[in-house]
Structure formats: structure tokens, C-alpha cells
Amino acid sequence: MDRKELKQLVLNALNNQIEAIQNQISSLSEDAQNDAKSSAGDKHETGLAMMHLEQEKLNTKLTEFLDMQQIALKLSENKTVEKVVLGSIVKTNKAVFYLSVPIQSVHYKNTQVFCVSVHAPLIQHLLNKEVGAEVTFNNISHKIVEIY
């Protein structure tokens, strides 16, 4: 598995999410401006308040994705250690994990790769382990087969 290619897949997914949220925010702003020109009264006030709340939620989400993007940009593209660390691609007997940012899984060369944070409970058990190590999480045994 190529760390550089996988990192690029993650960055592309993040960029798509960021763009989608920005489009939603723009759309809400336009709707609010159009609504302001054509409405008056209590219903108008309620509608604007609801749009404002939605914009706040989207702005919070956007900030989270921008933060994840900064983390992803800093991920090493070269294998430097033999232990599970941030930036590692870990193949276990159950799944493949990319220790990066918590987003949807990506498909890389016909393999589903789960993008997870180092703070994920299973990953906490795998951190600093080497190939051959076995951990049990939720009564499921995970044996590290490879680290990329």
C-alpha cells in the first residue's frame, strides 16, 4: 500500500466534504437574503432564525473538516517506523486501517480502508504494537499482519 496515494485519497474526500459544506452555507445565505426581501412578520423571523442556526451548525462542521484537513496534510508519506503510529496503514486479520482522520472509508486498489483517528478505541489498543501483535477489542481478536 502506498501511503502517498492513500493520503491523497483522504485529502480528496476532505476537499469534497469542505466544498459541499461551503456550497450549503452559500445557499443558505442566498436564501436568507431572498427571504429578507420578500417576507415580513413572525414567520419570517422564525425562518431567518432557523436558517441562522443551520448556518452555525454548518460553520462548526466546516471548522472540524478544515482542522482534519490540516492534520491530513501533515501525515508522513514515508514509512519510518515498524510500530503502529499516526500515519500508519495497519492491516489486521479483520480489516485495513489508515491512522489519519476520522472520515468515511475509502477504496484503495479494491480494498476498503477505514480512515480512523488515533483516538478511536480499537486504535488505542493497536498503538505502538508491531507486526504479529494481537489485541482483543469487543471480544474480537485483531492480529497485525502488516504495517505500511
- Please say if the pLDDT value at position 18 is more than 80: yes
Kindly report the average pLDDT of the chain as a whole number: 90
Quick: pLDDT tens for 87-109: 999 999 999 999 999 999 999 99
Own/partner pairs, 80-86, CB within 8 angstroms, 24+ separation: 82/130, 82/131, 82/147, 83/128, 83/129, 83/130, 83/147, 84/123, 84/126, 84/127, 84/128, 84/129, 84/130, 84/144, 84/147, 85/118, 85/127, 85/128, 86/118
pLDDT of residue 44: 58
Note the pTM of the prediction, 2 decimals. 0.84
